[in-house]
């Protein structure tokens, strides 16, 4: 197939000064996109700021013959998110792609994970994605074209030690799938990446570390390079992308679809409400995932799951 290109397209990648965002920005720029390299430049817990990471990535892109501009706004503030989009429009005249990637990690579980931990985590991951996408939305709507990528985590599958993070990442799945439904008629696609790579948060020597505990040899460490995630992100950002509202897992050279499925379950056929004991008696049927169903949306689910009522 022909090379996938992004000539004439303008992309924002948040948190692109390091880690995964840097890899996404480099690939998009290499393929012709003009990139706003956003990064606040703080610690992995989200403390402080430093223009160095964003500027370094911009220099790297320009040295390779690409076009990019640095932006050090904080996605943890609504004004910051609007300013990022303003940077794109002011510097490059439009906005086609938003890769919501910026993230922090403040390890704590109950009861240590307090309101401050939750709010700061939600500010960057959830509200940052919400406000940046919302600021870009009118431009995408007007041009009838846009690609939005959100970043979740397989940590959402169950990560007790980083509870607020897993909570925020779960919320992003609801955001992605629901915004995708609203986006489709406007020519905008919204999809979610669940990446896996060795970066600052996963390199921590002092915190639980699933990735480095298993990736012990050099070849496996190389496979955990951030660049292995970016081809999937770039596809989701491309004009030819065919999917909407999906969650894709990428890392270590492996690419997969992550979906939300529902079992056919058990239907109470007697009169009135099913007795409590019947739920227990039919537990195996309720949980039998042999013929699970993957709903595309709430309406799709409702017509399928409640189908027995109209039979």
3-state secondary structure of 249: strand
Query: CA 31, CA 66: separation in Å to the nearest integer?
Result: 9
Q: Which of 6, 139, 165, 235 is catalytic?
A: 165
Q: How many residues bind ligand NAD (CB under 6 A)?
A: 32
User: 196 or 244, CB closer to ligand NAD?
Assistant: 196
Could you tell me which residues are beta bridge partners of residue 162?
108
Is 12 a binder of ligand NAD (CB under 6 A)?
no
Question: Which one of the spans 98-106, 140-148, 252-260, 298-306 is the region binding ligand NAD (CB under 6 A)?
Answer: 98-106
In the set 9, 11, 12, 21, which binds ligand NAD (CB under 6 A)? 21
In the set 37, 137, 167, 195, which binds ligand NAD (CB under 6 A)? 195
Query: CA 135, CA 106: separation in Å to the nearest integer?
Result: 27
| Omega prior to 253 cis, within 30 of 0 | no
Is 197 a binder of ligand NAD (CB under 6 A)?
yes
Give Cα separations from 43 to 97, 226, 265 (angstroms): 26, 18, 46
Does residue 292 carry a catalytic annotation? no
Is 175 a binder of ligand NAD (CB under 6 A)?
no
For the chain, how big is the Rg over CA atoms in Å?
A: 21
In the set 132, 196, 230, 244, which binds ligand NAD (CB under 6 A)? 196
Residue reference for tokens 């699933």: 210
Query: CA 132, CA 120: separation in Å to the nearest integer?
Result: 16
Active site residues: 165
- The contact set with ligand NAD (CB under 6 A) reads 14-15, 17-21, 38-42, 44, 46, 53, 74-76, 101-104, 124, 151, 153, 195-197, 199-202
């Amino acid at each position: 197939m022909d090379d996938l290109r992004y000539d004439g397209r303008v992309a924002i990648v948040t948190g692109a000064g390091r880690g995964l965002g840097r890899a996404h920005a480099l690939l998009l720029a290499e393929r012709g996109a003009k990139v706003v390299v956003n990064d606040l430049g703080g610690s992995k817990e989200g403390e402080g700021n430093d223009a160095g990471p964003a500027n370094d990535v911009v220099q790297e892109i320009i040295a390779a013959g690409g076009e990019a501009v640095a932006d050090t706004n904080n996605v943890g503030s609504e004004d910051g998110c609007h300013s990022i989009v303003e940077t794109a429009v002011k510097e490059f005249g439009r906005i086609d792609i938003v890769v919501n990637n910026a993230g922090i990690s403040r390890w704590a579980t109950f009861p240590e994970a307090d309101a401050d931990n939750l709010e700061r985590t939600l500010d960057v991951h959830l509200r940052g994605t919400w406000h940046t996408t919302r600021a870009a939305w009118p431009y995408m709507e007007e041009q009838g074209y846009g690609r939005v990528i959100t970043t979740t985590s397989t940590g959402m599958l169950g990560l007790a030690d980083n509870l607020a993070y897993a909570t925020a990442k779960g919320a992003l799945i609801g955001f992605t799938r629901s915004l995708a439904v609203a986006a489709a008629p406007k020519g905008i696609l919204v999809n979610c990446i669940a990446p896996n790579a060795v970066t600052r948060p996963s390199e921590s020597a002092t915190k639980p570390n699933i990735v480095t505990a298993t990736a012990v040899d050099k070849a496996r460490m190389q496979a955990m390079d951030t660049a292995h995630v970016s081809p999937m992100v770039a596809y989701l950002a491309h004009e030819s992308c065919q999917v909407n509202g999906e969650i894709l897992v990428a890392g270590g050279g492996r690419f997969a679809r992550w979906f939300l499925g529902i079992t056919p379950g058990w239907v109470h056929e007697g009169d009135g409400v099913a007795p409590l004991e019947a739920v227990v008696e039919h537990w195996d049927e309720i949980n039998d995932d042999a013929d699970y169903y993957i709903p595309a949306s709430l309406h799709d689910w409702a017509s399928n799951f409640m189908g027995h009522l109209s039979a």
